[in-house]
């Protein structure tokens, strides 16, 4: 079975398993207070999903990532990461515009043109050297700009830490991607192949980039779930410009 189809199958397997403890909520006052302070009223459900994700990571995703790192030279992995990053620029541009960030949208446009034409389809990262840094822009961020609250913390099957707003944003960003619409001109099969391939390549690349940091975080955590929740929330707050002077910042979450 091809990797992309297998990953999608694993997502479908993880989804029902993540609902096993829907009826379970923290019972002690201390646990309820901790969940409320972390905006995690669904902690019991989230922990099941987190454990399933972690099991699948140990069983399949991490070994595949190690194989990818071992068999593909650094130079080629960097080129693959560049292509994937360049493919995200149209969605970043769309969200920059939806947020009214025309300056950032202009930089994103210039980046995409430079890396596509000068960087040979994004194979080479040229724009950074031209003082055109990659901008942030996703629909969860857009909803935040429009005043929507994040909602409770949520662990998604395979995708990991998120919240209600960002989960909606993830779906919207997927729908906004122009590549699947271009692929759709070749029929449903071609479109599905494109979606699966992009999902698998992006996930594998991200996992390879965080392989060592993820292991270090796991090893140093008394409660790996709570630590990952904290890392995600601090990282996301930094992206959204929400400052918390008392919280450390994790720059290498992604």
DSSP code string of 96-115: HHHTT-HHHHHHHHHHHHII
Buried b (16+ CB within 10 A) or exposed e, 198-213: bbbbebbbebbbeeee
DSSP 8-state secondary structure symbol assigned to residue 129: G
Contact 4, 197 (CB under 8 A): yes
Q: What's the pTM?
A: 0.80
Q: How far apart are CA 104 and CA 135, in angstroms?
A: 7
Q: How far apart are CA 18 and CA 221, in angstroms?
A: 23
| First-to-last C-alpha distance (Å) of the chain | 28
Q: How far apart are CA 216 and CA 218, in angstroms?
A: 5
Task: Please report, for residues 55, 85, 232, the alpha-carbon distance to residue 40 in angstroms, rounded to integers and kept in the order given.
Answer: 22, 31, 13
* pLDDT recorded at residue 67: 95
Q: Render each residue's pLDDT in the chain as its tens digit; 254 residues.
A: 444 444 444 444 434 333 333 334 445 555 555 556 688 999 999 999 999 999 999 999 999 999 999 999 999 999 999 999 999 999 999 999 999 999 999 999 999 999 999 999 999 999 999 999 999 999 999 999 999 999 999 999 989 999 999 999 999 999 899 888 887 787 888 777 888 888 888 999 999 999 999 989 988 889 999 999 999 999 999 989 887 544 444 444 44
* pLDDT recorded at residue 221: 87
Facing residues of 156 across strands?
160
* pLDDT recorded at residue 11: 42
């Amino acid at each position: 079975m091809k990797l992309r189809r297998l990953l999608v199958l694993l997502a479908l397997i993880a989804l029902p398993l993540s609902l096993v403890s829907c009826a379970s909520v923290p019972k002690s006052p201390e646990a309820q207070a901790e969940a409320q302070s972390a905006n995690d009223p669904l902690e019991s459900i989230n922990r099941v999903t987190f454990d399933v994700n972690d099991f699948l990571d140990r069983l399949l995703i991490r070994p595949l990532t190690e194989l990818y790192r071992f068999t593909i030279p650094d130079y080629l992995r960097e080129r693959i990461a560049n292509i994937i990053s360049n493919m995200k620029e149209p969605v970043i541009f769309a969200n920059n515009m939806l947020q009214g960030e025309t300056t950032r949208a202009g930089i994103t446009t210039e980046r995409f043109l430079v890396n596509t034409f000068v960087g040979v389809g994004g194979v080479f990262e040229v724009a950074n050297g031209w003082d055109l840094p990659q901008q942030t822009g996703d629909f969860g961020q857009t909803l935040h700009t429009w005043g929507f609250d994040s909602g409770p913390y949520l662990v998604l099957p395979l995708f990991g830490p998120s919240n209600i707003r960002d989960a909606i944003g993830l779906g919207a960003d997927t729908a906004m991607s122009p590549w699947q619409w271009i692929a759709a001109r070749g029929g449903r099969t071609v479109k599905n192949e494109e979606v699966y391939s992009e999902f698998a390549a992006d996930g594998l690349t991200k996992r390879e980039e965080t392989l060592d940091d993820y292991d270090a975080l796991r090893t140093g955590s008394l409660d790996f779930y709570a630590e990952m929740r904290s890392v995600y929330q601090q990282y996301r707050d930094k992206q959204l410009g929400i400052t918390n002077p008392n919280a450390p910042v994790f720059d290498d979450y992604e």
